[in-house]
Amino acid sequence: IKNIAVFTSGGDSPGMNAAIRAVVRTSLHYNLNVFGIQRGYDGMVNGDIFPMDAKSVANIIQRGGTILKTARSKEFRTVEGRQQAYEQIRKFQIDGLVAIGGDGTFTGAAKFIEEHDIPVMGLPGTIDNDLAGTDFTIGYDTAINTVISAVDKIRDTAESHDRLFIIEVMGRDSGLIALRSGIGTGAEAILIPESATNSKALLEKLAHGRKDKSSKIVLVAEGDEEGGAFAIAELVKKHFPNYDTRVSILGHIQRGGSPTCMDRVLASRLGVAAVEALLAGRKGEMAGVINGDIAFTPFNKAIKHIDSLTPSLLKIVDILS
Ligand code: F6P
């Protein structure tokens, strides 16, 4: 391998820049040429590819977002789009790719490898933490810290007014943002797509739970099947008209901001590991960290996420709230 290209794809996450920096600097360390691709697979299809050097990743480790920009590409989902992308990268003689993103990114990468002879290694870049093969994804730690600082503020006003807040957090298919930030903020209940905890259980808890708390926080993952924070609030209002209930949707603030040290270090370790893996002849795998050690997981396994900790974390919420 002589020429590596790096790109970010799907929803951005804090720490992607630290990962780009690590990929670029590691490539240079091993005397490889390194290119950036703009806007993920869209940029690959359109040939938005440019050479990078040590300076082009200076002063970015602390910045949220991604300097390479990102997109969810429609064209790359077609055979023709992927063919065009392959022709573009061949023009630059790129013979190794590092893809930073989530399940959509790796699904695309797996197809690309199947159809074209190009090694791709992946880095888990998503705030959702919904990938198998790594204990944590790049951006998750920052996102849950953003959530707890927002929920702590809401708790102040909820306590002053004796209110119940239904707070919706991100996580399209996964409740892991809701789960850990729920434990971290002492939420009374958490509604997530992975569990049978549903609105009935919430109503039970409100009816029979502790009566000595003046404020109540319920965290709802946006992927919960029962219709999001407003639907849950309507239900609560119907059954508990005496509660002064409010809704807050945290939204995209969860995707921005300066990455935490944990995310910067994770991104740096994985960026180095991905380039070294390409040099060692690996392909079609995501680099992750499991129990402190670097681990490689094939893309088709990485996208099938089931978090084995979820039931025990849910139990903690129940015991402690
Ligand atoms: O995958 C990350 C994520 O933030 C999800 O939690 C959320 O459902 C989705 O991206 C939102 O995507 P968009 O910014 O395209 O609306």
Q: What is the DSSP string of 228-286?
A: HHHHHHHHHHHH-TTSEEEEEE-GGGGG-SPPPHHHHHHHHHHHHHHHHHHHTT--SEE
Name the residue at shortest CA distance from atom 15 of ligand 1: 11
pTM over 0.95: yes
Positions of the chain with pLDDT lower than 50, given as ranges? none
Long-range residue pairs from 205-212, CB within 8 A, at least 24 positions apart, any chain: 206/164, 206/236, 206/239, 206/240, 206/243, 207/239, 209/321, 210/321
| Choice among 42, 128, 141, 263 that is catalytic | 128
263 is catalytic: no
CA 12 / ligand 1 centre spacing (Å): 8
Å from CA of 173 to ligand 1 middle: 10
Atom of ligand 1 nearest to the CA of 10: 1
For 178-233, write each residue's pLDDT tens digit. Answer: 999 999 999 999 999 887 657 888 998 888 887 888 899 999 999 888 889 999 99
Model pLDDT, residue 27: 98
Distance CA 193, CA 225 (A): 6
Span from the CA of 166 to the centroid of ligand 1 (angstroms): 20
How big is the CA angle at 307 (ends 305 and 308), to the nearest 5 degrees?
135
Binding-site residues, ligand 1, Cβ < 6 A: 11, 102, 126-128, 170-172, 222, 255
Residues 236, 166: contact at Cβ < 8 Å? yes
**Ligand 1 atom 1 nearest Cα:** 11
Provide ipTM, 2 decimals: 0.97
Find how far residue 260's CA is from the centre of its chain. 14
Q: Which two tokens stand for residue 145?
A: 């810290």
Residue with tokens 């893996």, as numbered in its chain:
277
Å from CA of 170 to ligand 1 middle? 7
Task: Give the per-residue pLDDT at 197.
Answer: 57
